[in-house]
Amino acid sequence: MAKKQATPQPSAPRSASTTTTPAKPPPSTPSTTKQTPSQSTSVTKTAPSTLSPRSSPQEIAIHVWNKYIQETPSRTLFLDIFLLYIALNGAVQFIYCIIGGNYPFNAFLSGFGAAVGQFVLTVSLRMQTVEQSPTETNTGSKTKVVDGVEEKCTGQISSERAFADFVFGSLILHGFCVNFIN
C-alpha cells in the first residue's frame, strides 16, 4: 500500500484575537547530529577553581594569573603594566651601561634614577588607589567630633588626591633629573 502524503491545508486569515505558539524544534541527540567545522567549539584548558596540595607549579601559576585577571580592577591592571614598562626601561638602561659603556655617566645616573624614582611613585599610587574590602576599611576607622558633628575617618585619601600627589612628585622628580643631566 502506498502511504498518503499530507497535503498542506490553506491557512485561514488570522484575526487579531487569535494567538499561536510557534512549534518547538525536536530535541537533537548528540549522537545523531554532526558538527561542521564552523560550529565546533574549542576547548580551552582552565585551571581548577581550587588548588590541591599536590598541584603542579604550572597549575598554581595559571590559577594565580586567572584570579589576578578576574579580580583586579582595570585601573590597577593599567598601573601594573606601567610598572612593568618602567622596570624594563631601567633594566635596558643598566644593560646598556654595562655593555655599551657609561661615557656620559651623569646621563645614565639621571635616566636610571628617573626610572627607579618613577617606579617608586607608581607603586605608591597603586597602594593608595587599590580598593579595599569593607572589613579592612572598618577596622582602621576612627570617629572624631568637629563642631559638634561626628565624622568617620578611615585614614585613606581619595583617588584624586593620590593621583595629584603622583603627578606633583613626578614633576619634581623629572625636574631634578633634567637638572642633573646639565
Measuring CA to CA, how many Å separate 176 from each of 25, 111, 169?
A: 73, 11, 11
Q: Give ∠ CA 131-133-139 in degrees, rounded to 5.
A: 115
Quickly state the pLDDT bin for 100 (edges 50, 70, 90).
confident
Predicted confidence (pLDDT) per residue in 105-125, tens digit: 888 899 999 999 999 999 999
Helical ranges in the chain per DSSP H: 57-71, 74-100, 105-129, 134-139, 159-181
Task: Please tell me the predicted confidence (pLDDT) of residue 55.
Answer: 87
Distance of alpha carbon 163 from alpha carbon 32, whole angstroms: 61
Average pLDDT, the chain: 77
Angle of helix 105-129 versus helix 159-181 axis, rounded to 10: 180
Percent of the chain with pLDDT over 90: 44
Contacts of 99 (CB under 8 A, 6+ apart): none
pTM beyond 0.95: the answer is no
Quickly state the pLDDT bin for 157 (edges 50, 70, 90).
confident
Q: In this structure, are residues 93 and 111 in contact, taking their beta carbons and an 8 Å threshold?
A: yes
Task: Please tell me the predicted confidence (pLDDT) of residue 90.
Answer: 95
Which cell numbers hold the place of 156?
585613606
Task: Please tell me the predicted confidence (pLDDT) of residue 24.
Answer: 56
Helix, coil or strand: residue 101: coil
Quickly state the pLDDT bin for 139 (edges 50, 70, 90).
low
Q: Which of 139, 118, 131 is nearest to 158 (CA)?
A: 131
Distance of alpha carbon 116 from alpha carbon 18, whole angstroms: 76
Task: Identify the residue whose cell numbers are 654595562.
Answer: 98
Helix, coil or strand: residue 151: strand
Which cell numbers hold the place of 22?
510557534
Measuring CA to CA, how many Å separate 180 from each of 70, 106, 120, 166, 167?
A: 43, 7, 19, 21, 20
